[in-house]
Amino acid sequence: MATPPGARGTARPATTHPHPATAGHPTVLTGATVVLPTGAVENGQVTIDGTRITGAAPENAQVIDVTGHYVIPGFIDIHNHGGGGASFTSGSVEDILKGIHTHRLHGTTTLVASTVTGDMDFLTQRAGLLSELAEQGEIAGIHFEGPFISPCRKGAHSEALLRDPDPAEVRKLIDAARGRATMVTLATELPGGTDSVRLLAEHGVIAAIGHTDATYEQTVEAIDAGATVATHLFNAMPPLGHRSPGPIAALLEDDRITIELIDDGTHLHPAALQLAFHRAGADRVAFITDAMDAAGFGDGRYWLGPLEVEVADGVARLLADGTIAGSTLTLDSAFKRAVTVDGLSVEDAVKALSATPARLLGMDDRIGSLEPGKDADLVLLDADYELKGVMRRGEWVVGPQLR
């Protein structure tokens, strides 16, 4: 598949306001409400030494007073197609790094790069490129969303390029990723679907059920075979029915499943989000962006794989038929909406944006909470939940902006 033309949005240059250099000096953030796994601690402090969070502050530490702010773990996005005008599916390495940086400016300190449907040769080539960035620590892994999805629930994927999930072809993709394949979204009811789920589970790759037309019974079978994620629940799957409950009921009721939710006010009615969140609980929900190129960039025309997208008023839709085509969401906005619109507690929002995705990725020994020994990945928010600072591995990406 030829690489599609680049995005044609209006650039919004990113600006950061770094605090005076702290390189080589331990730093203590003090006076904030610090959200820990055990709950929120008022007038707390977080100590950073090098790239890690530490316990007691050394005498030579630089103290930054962040009274009136929240300090929370860095956000973790397990489903993201791009940002800053750049696509993870079709962009150059420079483009991809630009997209990653765009999301870091919005608090996402760990990101899984997602691709969209393409032909197999193209996707294996992209897998090789993205795996190099994973090896360098720029991304946490690769998520293949398509081509093994249902033409009935294709969403913003090219129907001409869809195919059944033949285990041999699924294996080809994960081999091309050189151990960096994190997740594959499948319509598990298609021929080869259940066998592909077993293959993925055997290789330590998350099998995600999505873009599916499965029945309740078929979904239960896939979960029993090893599927552990619901790709953007509610979207691109049959609606919940009282006689034919479909995949939504099966995914919500099973404690083995982590539920992806897109909290942008477009993909889900607030009542649907409340239903899913309170049925599954914060320990089973991962808020995602499903972002495409326009995230952090602006309205305009873009390409999602081979399909042209129009972004207007921040909503991305296929030019051809108006189908929603990913989002322009960033996780700082998702956090604020979760607390101020959806009424979630700060602690539950932190779980859904940090702790739960960290555990799903098997990285909760390093990221996802503000505990000694873990990476110094954190977000600073003011009392109105506006982002005022981002630190990744002990270095300020943004801020702190305290005035």
Tell me the residue type at 27. T
Distance CA 315, CA 190 (A): 31
Distance CA 15, CA 390 (A): 12
What SS3 class is residue 98? helix
Give the single-character DSSP code of 192. Answer: T
Strand order in the sheet with 141-145: 75-80, 108-115, 141-145, 181-186, 206-209, 229-230, 258-262, 285-288
Query: What CA dihedral angle connects 351, 356, 361 and 365, to 10 degrees?
Result: 60
State the Cα angle at 378 between 372 and 379, rounded to 5°: 150
Catalytic residue chosen out of the listed positions 49, 264, 290, 364: 290
Q: Decide if 290 is catalytic.
A: yes
Residue 138's contacts (CB-CB under 8 Å, 6 or more residues apart) are 96, 97, 100
Tokens of 195: 């066998």
The end-to-end CA distance of the chain, in Å, is: 49
Report the half-sphere exposure of 316 (CA within 13 A, side-chain side). 31
Q: Which of 72, 106, 38 is nearest to 368 (CA)?
A: 72
Residue with tokens 């499965």: 214
Cα Dmax for the chain: 66
Give the single-character DSSP code of 230. Answer: E
- 94: number of Cβ within 10 Å: 9
DSSP string, 25-46: S-EEEEEEEEEETTEEEEEEEE
Q: Which residue spans within 211-305 are E strands per DSSP?
A: 229-230, 258-262, 285-288, 300-304
What SS3 class is residue 348? helix
Q: How distant is the alpha carbon of residue 361 from its chain centre?
A: 11
Residues designated catalytic = 290
